[in-house]
Amino acid sequence: MWRRGHARHRAQNGAGRPCAVRNAQNRCGDGGQARYRARNGAGRPCAVPRGGTVCRSAQTSNLTYPFGAMVRGLYTDFHKMSWTHLGMWDINLIEFIALATFVVAGFLVLRSTTAPLHERVAFVCFVLIEMVMASWQFWGSTFGDGRTYIDAFLLSVILLLATPARVSATAYASKKFGVFAANRVITNRRLALLAAVAVAALIVVARRRILFE
């Protein structure tokens, strides 16, 4: 059956052309083919999209100018937050406070941590891409629970866990460089405070997931 159908197709549309390509060209018509080849070049069927357009569209929808969408998202959260009940905008702010706490702490131990250099560079790059340059489709989301920024959060946790709890002799003798001091430590008490912030945000997220899903 398939062979008879294929033979009829070759007899009607000509040999040497795949069925899918021939059908696509028939749908486009002669005028559509001429316009398509004038724009995109000959030798490419109109059913095949150009990958560059898709990549550029995804890039512009995911990334934007630095701090542009972040400032707009925080302003929207503060503007729509409620003091009487825990709404989605309030939960967004709680999640951002927890994320910002760990990110700032990660930058504070950027020089004193014993984590490898590539993990420190990855932390800075993820903060720039996932937070600073993230578009409105992420900062304007009210039900994403911060999944977009998970890499920056996890790498900040790695840097904090790799930071010594006591100051070594070499680090104590070295000079301080303002915020990025080489002799900064993370004690158990500081880790407990950071863990309390993360647990509070997780409780809020779990409550919303249980109630609304």
pLDDT the model gives residue 212: 72
* Cα dihedral 65, 67, 71, 73 sign: positive
Please check the confidence at residue 75 and state whether its pLDDT lies above 80: yes
Task: Evaluate whether 136 touches 64 at the Cβ level (below 8 Å).
Answer: yes
The phi and psi torsions of 157 (rounded to 5 degrees) equal: -65, -40
Q: Which amino acid is at 10?
A: R
pLDDT above 90 as % of the chain: 27
Q: Is the pTM of this model over 0.85?
A: no
Most confident of 7-21, 23-37, 158-172: 158-172
Rounded distance between C-alpha atoms, residue 19 and residue 11, angstroms: 12
CA distances from 161 to 114, 177, 197, 210 (A): 9, 21, 16, 31
pLDDT in tens, 163-202: 988 766 555 545 555 677 777 888 889 999 999 999 999 9
Q: Which amino acid is at 138?
A: F
